[in-house]
Homo-oligomer: A and B are copies of this chain.
Amino acid sequence: MGPSVSAGGMFDLQAWAAVQLDRVEQALSAWVAADAPAGLGDAMRYAVLDGGKRLRPLLVLAAAEAVGGDAQGALRTRMDNAALRAACAVELIHAYSLVHDDMPCMDNDVLRRGKPTVHVKFGEARALLAGDALQALAFELLTPDDGSVGAPVQAALCRLLARAAGHEGMAGGQAIDLASVGLALTEDQLRQMHRLKTGALLRGSVVMGAACNEGVDAEAAAVARGLADYGGAIGLAFQVVDDILDVTADSATLGKTAGKDAASDKPTYVSLMGLERSMDYAQALLAQALAALDATGLPASRTQALRALAGMVVNRDK
């Protein structure tokens, strides 16, 4: 089942994504620190550019469009500016987390997106610094001083990103992951770990996209809640599928080392539920995500990209 089918027919995700990704890649290339001193910029660019599915940026842009697609004029311009910056910022956080996660003291991975990992290419010290600088740059992108994004939106985006990335989000989930190697987690514990480790930033991407709109008022609470629920469901689905692919795909397709979870005795959905139940669970989460979009009350024409992205997350092969 291709993603455009689960999107409900006519929407062409590939075409939409191609346009968005072009904007994102250009912006990342312009904004990621070519001028950073002493090789730091090279390491940062290597970590970010020319790789990755850019799922998080696409979620930001799709959510912004879903909520603010009617905005006009200056309001629309500021929303588009904010959404592009938010899209790049979440990708920088994701990229930094991969750099640090791959380091010898963490997962000790030498291959990522089919290329040597950052510490293999640039050394551990520079990889550590590049990750640190990418996190700072994410917040710098969210706070331009040229009036192109309103201050309330800047503040909200920083708040949401900090929470998604920090101890109650991604970093907290990584700490649980680290502490759980070799332990027999319950399904609840595994879900909680992934809700933070991967889910928080995916959910954060959706919520940040919605927050790019200055005009959103209290009436939109149903929208905000629905989008957050959508983000939570696909965040979890993403990890379930990741666990499935770790056992069903090969390293060449994945662009990273397959079978790694089982080899390192990490608890996964597959080890806990078995392969078949994991695949059913992923489909159930997809249904949850689509139901959450319905609950927003937004017209279906506006949520097409989000629907299609949910399908892509669950039905991807890498």
Contact = CB atoms under 8 A, between A and B. Distances in A.
A38 interface: yes
Q: Which of A143, A167, A173, A180 has the most CB of B within 10 A?
A: A167
A135 interface: yes
Nearest to A136: B166
A128 B100 contact: yes
A163 B141 CA distance: 10
Dominant SS among interface residues on chain A:
helix
A259 to B, nearest CB: 21
Interface string A119-134: 0000111101101110
A132 B40 contact: no
A241 to B, nearest CB: 24
Interface of A: 33, 35-41, 44, 96-97, 100, 103, 105-106, 123-126, 128-129, 131-133, 135-140, 142-145, 151-152, 154-156, 158-159, 161-163, 165-169, 171-176, 178-180, 196
Given A154-B155, A178-B129, A137 B106 contact: no
Contacts of A155: 143, 151, 154-155, 158
Contact of A38 (B136, B158, B175): B175
Contacts of A176: 37-38
A154 B129 CA distance: 26
How many monomers of this protein are in the complex?
2
A35 to B, nearest CB: 8
A158 B151 CA distance: 11
A142 B158 contact: yes
Contact of A143 (B39, B162, B168): B162
A125 B178 contact: yes
Contacts of A136: 135, 162-163, 165-167, 169, 171
A105 B196 CA distance: 27
Contacts of A168: 35-36
B167 A40 contact: yes
A124 B178 CA distance: 11
